[in-house]
Structure 1
Amino acid sequence: MVDKVVSLEEAVAVIADSDTICVSGFVGIGTPEALLRGLAERYDKQAEPKDISLLFAAAPGDGKDRGLNRLSAPGLVKRAIGGHWSLVPKLGQLAVANKISAYNLPLGCISQLYRDIAAGKPGMFSKVGLNTFVDPRQIGGAINESSTEKLVELMELDGEEWLFYRSIPIDVAFIRGTTADKTGNITMEREALTLDMLSIAQAAKNSGGLVIAQVERICAEGSMNPREVVVPGNLVDCVVVADPSEHLQTYDTPYNHAFTGRLRGVVDELAPMPFSDRKIIARRAAMELPINGVVNLGIGMPEGVGAVANEEEILDHITLTTEAGVMGGVPQSGLDFGAAVNANAITQTNQMFDFYDGGGLDLAVLGMAEVDQHGNVNVSRFKDRFAGAGGFINISQNARKLVFVGTFTARGLRVDCKDRELSITSEGQMPKFIEQVEQITFNGKYAAQLGQQVLYVTERCVFRMTVDGLELAEVAPGIDIERDILAHMAFKPIVNNPKIMDPEIFDERRMKLKNTLINVRMEDRLTYDASTNTVFINLAGTAINTREDLDEHYTVMHKFFGDLGKKVNIISNFDGRTIAPKLRAAYADFQAELEKKYFLDAARYTTSAFLRQKMGQDLKARALSPNIFETAAEAAAFINAQNKG
């Protein structure tokens, strides 16, 4: 047997000038700190290797000196291609100063590209990045003037536009695991995430490159459970055992069993957010949370939505995810970002982005730094400050509903609430709603064309994206539209009788959001629009578990439709709706009775393929057309078409 355990110095000695090194890591999770230090020290002592290229998805760094920040010595790096840059500012400074060739591609696309490099494919097709700065019709992801290589191409397939991300051969892979045997088999039982370790190793090996693994311990040959081996030994060339100080679970946490799923952690009662402009914004955004839906909350201000959901006792009714691969649990923040306490599942990062890109997210709440009249958002580039897009483009382009959150102005904003009204006591010096964003990280017009639901939530108002541009949809009580909103915008939005934001948002007491989203009376779930003769029925998150539930449903529906005195169109939201199997037939009979007696045309929608199939079968068995769609837009389009017909 070949003993693959070597010293740090021996491992980094194999790296040659101009090698392309792929580095794992999500902030500090899975970041091979010892290997990066060893490479930096070798260059400092020997002035080699020179002119290396770096490839990374999520920035392996702490925003200061650790991670890829170690590799900022002049001459060491010639090119860097990464998804997220804000935590590697030393490397970012080289990029902004045009001292290295540098690119920012969507984090998810880089993660998925590893698999195609491993498979020997020329690249990967994706719609992610279209009409953003990644699109070659803009800057193709290039960060500076010296970045002239075309890594992304625009192509057309069957009349549709796609982006083609070219494969990047990997000479050396730096990966990290928990335990290795002497033949190089790697497990990850103490790691908070699995990330893309296997794909990176396969990509390097099938590119003819080397795989160097950092672990915290060595075990006896034959003692590993093969189901726990994440990277098999035949893919690994050498293994380095790191000092515990360079193998922390995250940059903030040496080790937490609850991050791994090995043990369940005790989640302390979270203290309520202090009442402030941030909490006001988080409260309004939380009103969009889909019961029983899948949600991604971005880092920073979006994290407040989770705190509000916890305070309002609805956190158990949604599934929070992180792009790093965590499904469920309580996502962490700061330098623990990416990990979660008590996750339901921890998948590979590329798998999570497959789910996101395919439309698996019901809602994403993301930050916004700049917004323009077209609804474009910039979070990635601000003159000499370069953050990068991270997973923002994948998430924002593919979530079914999207809520951007941020204060209306920045630098010095102060607000006050009294009697459920908002007043601006000190206006921010920096406007956020400007004529044109510096860089398009999210394209508003493109989202509108695709029919995506997009809101922009601030402490004083809410905007909605429409095909005609940004519309002022809601205004906080106490706010003057001309004085407090339009006067601080570089453009005039569409203003057409905006609603007043819910006054409870501006009260320090709890909002009782659970009653709004979950414990809603059946009578309040029915809305009639006389202009289209359509009734909207919101059954999201409701359940028919007993005969009494069904009887209540029956009584309310018959009274409501009977009082209208005429047949109507209906659009019903069944997202998160559950029906006990033993009551399914009775419920379908009830639906058929309603439809024959009261409905002109009926359209129902739910993201649950199972529910669509079962309801469809039940309705067809009763000689009714199911007309069950996946989205509200599809259901509304069906009713509109029927009305025109």
Structure 2
Amino acid sequence: MANLIDAMELAKKIPDNSTIGLVGFGGIGQCDKILRSIGENFKETGHPKNLTVFHTAGQSDTTNGIEHIAEEGLIGRIIGGHWGLAPKARKLIQENKVDCYCWPQGQLTHLLRAMANKLPGQISPVGLGTFVDPRIEGGKFNERTKALDDLVQVIHINDEEFLLYPSIPLDYVFIRGTSIDEAGNLTTDEEPLKLEILSAAQAAKAYGGKVIAQVKYVAQKESFHPKQVVVPSYLIDEYVLVEDPAKDHRQTFSEVFSPVFAGDIRTPKESIDAIPLDIRKIIGRRAIKELQKNNVVNLGIGIPGDVIGNIANEEGIGQDIVLTMESGVVGGSSVGKNEFGVARNADAILEHEYLFDYYHGTGIDVTFMGGAEVDEFGNVNVSNFGGRAVGCGGFIDITQTAKKVVFLTTFTADGLKVAIDNGRLQILQEGKVSKFTNHVQQITFSGRYASTHSKNVIYVTERAVFTLTKDGLELTEIAPGIELQKDILDHMKFKPIISKNLKVMDMEIFSDQLLGIANEWNRQVETVNS
């Protein structure tokens, strides 16, 4: 039976040098009351100190989650996947105040299951050829960590290469639910995501660790339907009850609680606002033309998560494809931005780690991903650029196994301004930063690995489209109104292969009219059936 504990009392009980596991996704699902109390106790007493923090996805919405404990001395080591929305934690990493290992998010979720089984680690080819590979950087995410031993190992099974991500015994794991009953059974009714709370709890128990749940409500014993229970009572040691959900148990960055995000009600499609025709929508409109009917699709953070779902809704093809996000969401329309990972009108919300099973094993039909840097070999960097230690999230897991990878990025960054006039693109002000560079600062996507495995890889910008070939990047399309030399080649640090059949992008992409994808797909079906 789980016992009620005050959050500050819990913080005082955590020994120095402990390893704690956190569960959350962006600004969703973190145990803010628990983490806030740990941070406050450290500032008052200097304890607990030198913690190892293990987490899978990002753990902040810029202010909450891991930010509560992102203090020098409190954290000694971080093993995680993403810090894009965690400025204080990222600062600790960038300033070499902590040891830091960055591993793919899906591998981290599956590592919890390996730990639950008391296995030596998670074995996978995911990460080969990227910065996680010990022959490149070993996932060591700052200069301080580069002096340490490798944790990830290359192993061989039946003459094939794999990476071994080692088990990390947990002393504590903090999980979040909606309600706990008097016996200690946990539900997630009002949470927008299920995440990996069961795997995390079982991983902690395998090594004698304690499982602490943060909840909003306490229910009478035996009042839950058994299928409601996500984590059973024998796995939970103690629970913290939240008095102020608006402060310590928000559903998302913008919502304390919305029945839409919990999947309790669906909103009319008409209530989902159309997005304006800007540079991001142009990129999304060209990218969505890579889809085929009945594709199972993944959306990454950034431009993909912000625009692809909306464009699919506008085009009337949402019912003809299956959109997924690595958080476990299947179907619906992505909310995007600081609430990436949540959708309106989802068809299913799966456990975080189980959707990664599909990504790893079957491979998504098409994934739409962002990109910060691209080089002549087709390598892409989204994890560490411009002095920002962001992390890879699920990017490596998904792009390495997807059947088709479509990168969505502006051609330059920092100040780029464009105009759209009568189906033509004009560059009003060029960005100061070239995204197409000689060598990426870090390999998050390996062009060499992709071409060796005959992956279909496309790079879509507002003014140019490239494809990956065995010889490197090939320019295949340019936008109407764009000059090849002045607007493209002069702003690349390398000269791409130029297709002998270089095409002009469809002018309809640069107008407010529909692309007509739904009609085209219907005609294809009629042709097949005739």
TM-score range, shorter chain: over 0.9
Q: Find the aligned partners of 1:265 and 1:149 in 2 and give their Cα distance.
A: 51
Query: Aligned runs of 1:231-246 on 2, under 5 Å?
Result: 231-243=231-243, 244-245=245-246, 246=248
Which residue of 1 is the match for residue 104 of structure 2?
A: 106
Question: In 2, distance between residues paired with 1:94 and 1:137?
Answer: 25
Q: Is the Cα–Cα contact under 8 Å of residues 422 and 506 in structure 1 kept in the other structure?
A: yes
**Residue 221 of structure 1 corresponds to which residue in structure 2?**
221
* Partner secondary structure for residue 36 of structure 1: helix
Corresponding letter in the other structure for 2:435: K
**Following TM superposition, by how much is the alpha carbon of 1:337 offset from its aligned partner in structure 2, in angstroms?**
1.9
Equivalences for residues 110-149 of structure 1 within 5 A:
110-147=108-145, 148-149=148-149
Contact 1:294 1:360 (8 Å CA) reproduced: no
Q: Which of 267, 289, 292 matches 1:290?
A: 292
Shift of 1:242: 0.9
Structure 1 match to 2:339: 336
The alpha carbon displacement at 1:17 in A equals 0.7
The 5-angstrom pairing of residues 547-562 of structure 1 reads 550=529, 553=530
Look up the match of 2:303: 301
Q: 1:49 offset after TM fit, Å?
A: 1.1
> Does the residue aligned with 2:184 lie in a helix, a strand or coil?
coil
Instruction: State the SS of the aligned residue for 1:230.
Output: coil
Answer yes or no: is the 8 Å Cα contact 2:15–2:48 preserved in 1: yes
1:260 equivalent among 259, 262, 271: 262
Superposed displacement of residue 3, structure 1: 5.8
1:340-387 deviations in Å (ceiling 9; x for gaps): 222211111110111001134111111111100001111111242111
User: Which 4+ stretches in 1 moved above 6 angstroms?
Assistant: none
Matched, 1:508 2:512: yes
How far apart, CA to CA, are the structure 1 residues paired with 2:476 and 2:226? Answer: 56
Deviations 1:598-627 (A, max 9, x none): xxxxxxxxxxxxxxxxxxxxxxxxxxxxxx
Distance in 2 between residues matched to 1:227 and 1:305, nearest whole Å = 34
Change in 2 beyond 3 A, CA 1:371/1:47: same
Aligned partner letter, 2:312 = A
Show the counterpart of 2:66.
68
- How many correspondences in the alignment? 524
**Does the 8 Å CA contact 1:5/1:182 hold for their aligned counterparts?**
no
Q: How does 1:55-454 map to 2 (within 5 A)?
A: 55-63=54-62, 65-147=63-145, 148-243=148-243, 244-245=245-246, 246-302=248-304, 303-454=306-457
Name the CA shift for 1:304/1:479 in 2 (closer, same or farther; >3 Å): same
**Structure 1: which amino acid aligns with 2:212?**
I
Query: Structure 2 CA distance, aligned partners of 1:380 and 1:20?
Result: 24
Within 5 A, what are the aligned runs for 1:16-27?
16-27=15-26
Deviations 1:498-523 (A, max 9, x none): 1221121122333223233x133x6x
1:271-297 deviation per Cα after TM superposition (whole angstroms, max 9, x unaligned): 332222222211100101221111111
Mapped to 1, the partners of 2:365 and 2:2 lie a distance apart of 48
Judging changes above 3 Å, is the alpha-carbon distance between structure 1 residues 238 and 438 closer, same or farther for their aligned structure 2 residues?
same
The CA distance in 1 between the partners of 2:526 and 2:139, in whole Å, is 47
Report the AA paired with residue 60 of structure 2. G
- Distance across 2 between alignment mates of 1:342 and 1:252: 17
Offset, 1:66: 1.3
Would the alpha carbon gap of residues 429 and 383 (structure 1) be closer, same or farther in structure 2, given more than 3 Å must change? Answer: closer
2:491 to 488, 492, 496: 488
Q: How does 1:34-49 map to 2 (within 5 A)?
A: 34-49=33-48
Q: Which has the higher contact order (CA 8 A, sep 6+)?
A: 2
Query: 1:410, 1:430 within 8 Å by CA — same for their partners in 2?
Result: yes
CA 1:165 to 1:503, structure 2 compared with 1: closer, same or farther past 3 Å? same
Q: Distance in 1 between matches of 2:475 and 2:2?
A: 66
Structure 1 unaligned residues grouped into runs of 5+ = 523-541, 554-645
**Quick one: distance in 1 between partners of 2:327 and 2:88?**
23
Query: What TM-score do the two structures reach when normalised by structure 2?
Result: 0.96
For the structure 1 residues 252 and 179, does the alpha-carbon distance in structure 2 shift closer, same or farther, using more than 3 Å as the test?
same
Distance in 1, Cα, partners of 2:400 & 2:276: 32
Aligned-partner residue type, residue 103 of structure 1: Y
TM-score, structure 1 normalization = 0.79
Structure 2 residue 465 is matched with structure 1 residue 466: no
Paired with 2:140 and 2:39, the residues of 1 have a C-alpha distance of 26
Partners of 1:155 and 1:161 within 8 A in 2: yes
| Superimposed CA distance per residue, residues 101-156 of structure 1 (whole angstroms, 9 cap, x where no aligned partner) | 11111111101100001110000111111101001011111112332132211111
Whether contact under 8 Å (1:329, 1:341) holds in the other structure is yes
CA distance in 2, matches of 1:298, 1:256: 23
Secondary structure of the 1:514 match is helix
Aligned 8 A contact 1:365 1:405 in 2: yes
Question: Using the alignment, how far apart are the partners of 1:459 and 1:278 within structure 2?
Answer: 8
Q: Which amino acid aligns with 2:340?
A: F
Q: What's the offset of the Cα at 1:99?
A: 1.1
In structure 2, what is the Cα distance between the partners aligned to 1:477 and 1:142? 43
Contact 2:12–2:47 (8 Å) recurs in 1: no
Instruction: Give, in whole Å, the separation in 2 of the partners of 1:9 and 1:3.
Output: 17
Residue in structure 2 matched with residue 31 of structure 1 by the alignment: 30
Question: Aligned-pair RMSD on alpha carbons?
Answer: 1.6
